[in-house]
Amino acid sequence: MSEILKEIKESERQKFLSYWLARLSENELLCYDITSISSYAEANEYIYWGYNRDGDKLPQMNLAMLVGQKSGLPAYYRKLPGNITDVSTLKTTIETLDFLGKEKLRFVLDSGFYSESNVDALLNKRYQFILKVPAGRIWIRDILDRYYEKAASPESYRKTGDNEVLYMASHLHMWKGRRCYIHLYYNASKAAEDFDNLMGKLVACKKDLETGNRKSAHNELYERFFTIRETPKRGLSVNYDDAEIQKYRKRYAGFFCIMTNVKMDSGELLNIYRGKESIEKCFDDLKNGLDMKRLRIHSSEAMESRLFIQFLALVFINSIRIIAKSDVKLQYMSAREIIEAMETIVLITYSGRYGHTVSEIGPLQKYIIDVFELPYVS
């Protein structure tokens, strides 16, 4: 199998991906995310130790993927070294898509991909985007300072389809001379949860500071919520900044923010952003349904073709699921059950004779053939 995989050339893979992305992206919002795939390989230049999303204590490679939000179909993928962080991948992905000649793409991204350079890259390419922004950013806090007193106003009260109560507001924001919109969402129940989470982090941060075990990921918390003094007589003194902590509780807890360069209603925007779960389903199918939780190939050459075949299999699995959901009878069957139902159909040929025969086709199999508009073999 490894020898066969090596016959699939990079130019052929990229040509297919270019055509396939063009077909899917015309009327689609593309959800972008990254997953990690663990491996025991030692001679693969993509395998590194990094943040493993499955909690495996193994080195890994990373896989970036674009998935159509409406169709649920994977549209594009890129292999990445296992030590690459999420935020650093988006700009290169954008450059790769530009190399493929893709224009007018629309992205849905979570807060892990927010950075100033990524927003600049999206705007420079004139891509439409919906991006969750970490509420702790200073410029976001400046916007929240204008709205927090109106957060619980009846004018901003909205109830989602899941009966979730939110207070919504939108703010026109000029990003380096370009028009963007910041949509603010406040959830009173989430406010208490956010504050409790912060307290847990601050207790851990105080211990870090007192023991001299600072973590770079917590630098913003150290600077914002602590006063640190060190004198020759009294030594190191670490205290909580209670005023800043209470300011967070009153003004910022319970808020989350989504940035976009498309003018739209706050409720509609939130529904679109939350629809990005389609990519999580693809990752779950890839790892649990298509045996890709471990990369059992050692050479990078064979790995690249294996990823391509897995991508094609993912397209088929999701296509079967989409068609099945539209049928009153098949909607209760999984893609795997539909495939298994068809496995007993066998094309039989006889040595030394022309022609062939087909095994018996049962009622369910005939029904599946009709729904999927498959050609009959006779």
Pull the structure tokens for residue 328. 């009153």
In-domain check, residue 175: no
In-domain check, residue 222: yes
For residues 215 and 314, membership in a common domain is answered with: no
Residues 65/74, Cβ–Cβ less than 8 Å: yes
Domain boundary (203, 237, 252) is at 252
In-domain check, residue 124: no
For residues 216 and 311, membership in a common domain is answered with: no
pTM check: above 0.75: yes
Total count of domains within the chain: 3
Return d(Cα 262, Cα 29) in angstroms, integer: 12
Structural domain span for residue 216:
190-252
For residues 292 and 361, membership in a common domain is answered with: no
Tell me which residue of 336, 335, 338, 344 sits closest to 362, measured CA to CA.
344
For residues 83 and 105, membership in a common domain is answered with: yes
In-domain check, residue 150: no
Give the pLDDT of the chain (378 residues) as one tens digit per residue.
667 777 788 888 888 888 898 888 777 889 999 988 888 777 677 778 887 777 778 888 888 999 988 888 999 998 888 788 878 888 888 888 877 767 778 899 999 899 999 999 999 988 899 999 998 889 999 999 988 887 778 888 888 877 788 999 999 999 999 999 999 999 988 899 999 999 999 999 999 999 989 988 888 899 999 998 888 777 788 999 999 999 999 889 999 999 999 999 999 999 999 888 888 888 888 888 787 777 776 677 778 888 898 899 999 999 998 899 999 999 999 888 999 999 988 888 887 777 778 888 889 999 999 999 988 765
In-domain check, residue 36: yes
**Phi, psi dihedral angles at 212 (to 5 degrees):** 75, 20
In-domain check, residue 335: yes
Return d(Cα 224, Cα 96) in angstroms, integer: 38
Q: Is 25 exposed, middle or buried (0-12, 13-18, 19+ CB in 10 A)?
A: buried
Helix (H) and strand (E) counts in the chain:
13, 14
For residues 16 and 97, membership in a common domain is answered with: yes
For residues 16 and 89, membership in a common domain is answered with: yes
For residues 72 and 94, membership in a common domain is answered with: yes
Tell me which residue of 336, 348, 337, 342 sits closest to 361, measured CA to CA.
342
For residues 294 and 228, membership in a common domain is answered with: no
Angle at 97 between CA 318 and CA 286, to 5 degrees: 25
DSSP E strands, the chain: 30-39, 60-68, 74-81, 106-109, 128-133, 157-159, 165-175, 178-186, 226-231, 235-240, 255-260, 294-295, 347-349, 356-358
Pull the structure tokens for residue 46. 């993509």
For residues 45 and 71, membership in a common domain is answered with: yes
For residues 6 and 57, membership in a common domain is answered with: yes
Pull the structure tokens for residue 352. 């030394």
For residues 212 and 239, membership in a common domain is answered with: yes
> What pLDDT score was predicted for residue 377?
64
Tell me which residue of 97, 85, 80, 91 sits closest to 44, measured CA to CA.
80
In-domain check, residue 302: yes
In-domain check, residue 172: no
For residues 341 and 300, membership in a common domain is answered with: no
